[in-house]
Amino acid sequence: MNRAKGTEAESEKETAIEAAMGEILNEVQAWKEQHPQARFSEMEEQVLKVRKRFGEEMMRELLEGRAEAHPVPGPQCPECRKEMHYKGEKKRRVVSSIGETRVNRGNYYCSKCRRSVFPPG
Ligand SMILES: [Zn+2]
């Protein structure tokens, strides 16, 4: 990680992902203290759970960081070709091979055609 090159927005994002990772690590630590006699299979189960969450956090980080999530100017309305207006962010569920991730995506709306899109889809 190169902190010196990042903008302020980027370093805020880095902090958010670091906080999520830190939380996961703390839970692992707490679990270890609560289960000093854990069997191998129990540890294995715990690691698989953590691995899933870790993957989901990473996926969210990558998805939310994409520039296409908030294009400026807004995308063209598929009906009337006019520029669509930004209507704020909405939580969307993204399913991938990693698992299920909830991410904030920009929502664009055409008041004439009453259509909304989440670019790039
Ligand atoms: Zn339209």
Number of domains in the chain: 1
C-alpha 113/C-alpha 79 separation (Å) is 7
pTM listed for this prediction: 0.58
Q: How far is the CA of 88 from the centre of ligand 1 (A)?
A: 18
Q: How many CA atoms lie within 13 A of 106 on its CB side?
A: 18
Residue 1 lies in a domain: no
Give the chain's largest Cα–Cα span: 65
| Cα radius of gyration rounded to whole Å, the chain | 20
Could you read off the pLDDT of 55-80 as tens digits, one per residue? Answer: 988 888 887 776 555 667 888 999 99
Could you read off the pLDDT of 88-117 as tens digits, one per residue? Answer: 888 888 888 888 888 888 889 999 999 998
Q: How far is the CA of 68 from the centre of ligand 1 (A)?
A: 20
Residue 2 lies in a domain: no
Q: Tell me which residue has tokens 């956090």.
A: 57
C-alpha 107/C-alpha 104 separation (Å) is 9
Q: How far is the CA of 23 from the centre of ligand 1 (A)?
A: 44
Structural domain of 58 = 8-117
Residues near ligand 1 ion, CB 5 Å cutoff: 77, 79-80, 110, 112-113
What is residue 120's three-state secondary structure?
coil
